[in-house]
Amino acid sequence: MILLLANIKQLLTFRGPSGPRAGRAQGEIGLVKNAAVLMKNGRVTAAGKEREVLRHPLAKKARVVEANGIVLPAFVDSHTHAVFAEPRLRDFSLRTQGVSYAGIRARGGGIISSVKAVRRQAPANMVSQLLERAERFLECGTATIEVKTGYGLDKKSELKMLEAVRAAASRTRLEMVPTLLAAHAVPPEFKGDSGKYLRYVLDEIVPAVVAGDLAQFADIFCERGYFTPEESRSYLNACLRRGLVPKIHAEQLSNYGGAWVGVKTGAVSADHLDYALPRDIRDLRRGGVVATLLPVSNFFLGLSRYPDARAFIAGCVPVALATDFNPGTAPCWNMQMVLSAACTHMKMTPEEALCAATINGAHALGAGDWTGTIEPGKQADLAVFDASDYRELCYYFGANLNKLTIKKGKTAYRKRDLIA
């Protein structure tokens, strides 16, 4: 019950004012060298210089774990589509032949192919797939993820996805925050009639989701060929009236007005933002919306253009980073890969990127008051990495340096010794 994580070479606490970190504050990591963290009943009791933490009366009663590495708040991956039935390998092969995301959709791939697979999938299989994926997130140092629906697109299948999240969440230490993304695309039965489909979602799916308390957020793909800004605004407002907090896929493939809709509907985050303009950045700042950037999807799609993280930081918009884990644009659950892409392709500093992957990710889920930093009173969600300098987490790529993930004070993942 009482745990002392000792011998920490560098502890990144991200201690600071409440609220998401923007501008210069995005680069403040709260570094403590030669540190320790004391935890009791799932919460942090003390965190700081080891010699000071050891003086705490509870330290003598604690079980001691030697970190011998870097400790930071466990990653908060605030944007995933982690419930899906099959990888999209045909799409992948087509992409290697030069076919674009839009071109793949036109050839029967894309979101709708994932929908067909999810509709066929047995609920029990969906749960076991999600549990296997949960292990992979924990293994890479992530202890909280958001999970979107959006591959069901009818009442039965969207609820099946949310019920799978609920069932899996009760059997893993990974915390999963569910988001209804029924407005991901117009399913074939509605023959492109997006207005009619959104009415169906609001009349049939949303009430069932709310009655079952199955989701916390509502998201929509605001993009040409998917849902217009006007539709997105009235849909998200209707969801908000029913208690689902808005999030939005905005300005991913073109500048279309999604960021502004996010501001107008009080969205907690606007995500992707590849084509955001200076006015969008000003609006997001005024609206207090977190900009969630997903550079691994650009990497996987082989795009040369990345979201302009520097412009968001200069404009004092808090930036969060997430994987976007999904079968179409980001088959990646490792936040360390996201850190690499953010530093290399978006020129975020390691400090800014780590802040974006922890405390700002927590704020993108409205969870910044209890996770995302390491300080007394907060949930003990942290990860230990096999490194001597925190920048190694951004420097090595395609790697996993995590060796221990702790969620609510309990071991959620521990790397096995190579020699038994």
**Strand ranges for 241-374 from DSSP E:** 245-250, 269-272, 290-293, 319-321
Query: Which one of Fe ion, ligand NIG, none interacts with residue 328, CB within 5 to 8 A by kind?
Result: ligand NIG
Q: Which residues of 368-396 are buried (b: 16+ CB within 10 A; e: fewer)?
A: beebbbbbeebbbbbbbbbbeebbbbbbe
Our CB check for Fe ion shows the closer of 27 and 366 to be 366
109 binds, among Fe ion, ligand NIG, none (CB under 5 to 8 A by kind): none
Q: How far is the CB of 148 from Fe ion (least distance, A)?
A: 7
Q: How far is the CB of 119 from ligand NIG (least distance, A)?
A: 14
- CB of 111 or CB of 320, closer to ligand NIG: 111
Q: Which stretch binds Fe ion (CB under 5 A): 200-208, 281-289, 305-313, 323-331?
A: 323-331
Residue at shortest CB range from ligand NIG: 328
Q: State which residue, 50 or 274, has the beta carbon closest to Fe ion.
A: 274
Kind and range of the H or E run holding 131: helix 123-139
CB under 5 to 8 A by kind: which of ligand NIG, Fe ion, none does 129 bind?
Answer: none
Written as six digits, the tokens of 415 are: 């790397």
As measured in angstroms, the least distance from the Cβ of 223 to ligand NIG is 7
Q: Reduced to 3 states, what is the DSSP secondary structure of residue 350?
A: helix
Question: From the list ligand NIG, Fe ion, none, which binds 297 (C-beta under 5 to 8 Å, kind-based)?
Answer: ligand NIG
We find the least distance from the C-beta atom of residue 79 to ligand NIG, in angstroms, to be 7
CA distance linking residue 54 with residue 37, whole number of Å = 9
CB of 94 to Fe ion, least distance (A): 20
Determine the Cα–Cα distance for residues 407 and 39; give it in Å rounded to an integer: 11
CA-based end-to-end distance of the chain: 27
Q: With beta carbons less than 8 A apart as the criterion, state whether 385 and 141 touch.
A: yes
CA dihedral angle for residue 199, residue 201, residue 207, residue 209, rounded to 10 degrees: -170
Give whichever of 37 and 215 is closer to ligand NIG, judged by the CB atom.
215
Query: Quick one: 114 or 265, whose CB is closer to ligand NIG?
Result: 114
Residue 110 interaction partner, one of ligand NIG, Fe ion, none, beta carbon < 5-8 Å per kind = ligand NIG
Nearer to ligand NIG among residue 144 and residue 326 (C-beta): 326
Least separation in angstroms between residue 340's CB and ligand NIG is 19
324 binds Fe ion (CB under 5 A): yes
Q: Cite the beta strand spans of 13-126 per DSSP E.
A: 31-40, 43-49, 63-73, 75-77
Q: Where are the alpha helices (DSSP H) in 153-243?
A: 155-169, 194-200, 206-211, 229-241
Contacts to ligand NIG by CB under 6 A: 81, 110-111, 114, 221, 249, 252, 297, 324, 326-329
Distance CA 105, CA 114 (A): 11
Cβ(338)–Cβ(141) under 8 Å? no
Nearer to Fe ion, 64 or 102 (CB): 102
CB of 322 vs ligand NIG, minimal distance in Å: 10
Token pair 């936040």 in the structure block, residue: 335
Residue numbers at the binding site for Fe ion (CB under 5 A): 324
